[in-house]
Amino acid sequence: MFDNFDFSKMGAMLEEAQKQTKKMQEEAMHKEFTAKSGGGLVSASMDGSGQIIDISIDNSLLSDKESLQILLISAFNDVRKMVEDNKQLATTQMLSSIGGFGVKS
């Protein structure tokens, strides 16, 4: 299982992974994701770390609590999924840039 794994490079690989993770987290703070529901009546925005940074609600929904709740849930779930997909993509890219985890070719 570990026939082609170069353990002597483990420390350097872990250090590189830590640097890449920190860089990825810093970049995430500057990204913004927005999801809309109800044809744009509700929108929710998150930064790349998953913090909600903005919510917009059309005034027409203020008297319809049930619809507002449904549309908020939908927008939150959609924007959360965008953030998670972005994190997965960034992690995959980071791992591939580290060089195959020291596997000798």
Per-residue pLDDT tens digits for 22-73:
887 787 778 999 999 999 999 999 999 899 999 999 999 999 999 999 999 9
pLDDT at 102: 44
What's residue 5's pLDDT?
Answer: 64
In the chain the domains, ranked by start, together with CATH numbers, are 31-90 (3.30.1310.10)
**For residues 10-25, average pLDDT:** 78
Is the pLDDT reported for residue 103 higher than 90? Answer: no
Q: Contact, 78 vs 40, CB < 8 A? A: no
Of all residues in the chain, what percent carry a pLDDT higher than 90? 50
Phi and psi torsions of 80, nearest 5°:
-60, -40
- In contact, 8 and 2? CB cutoff 8 Å: no
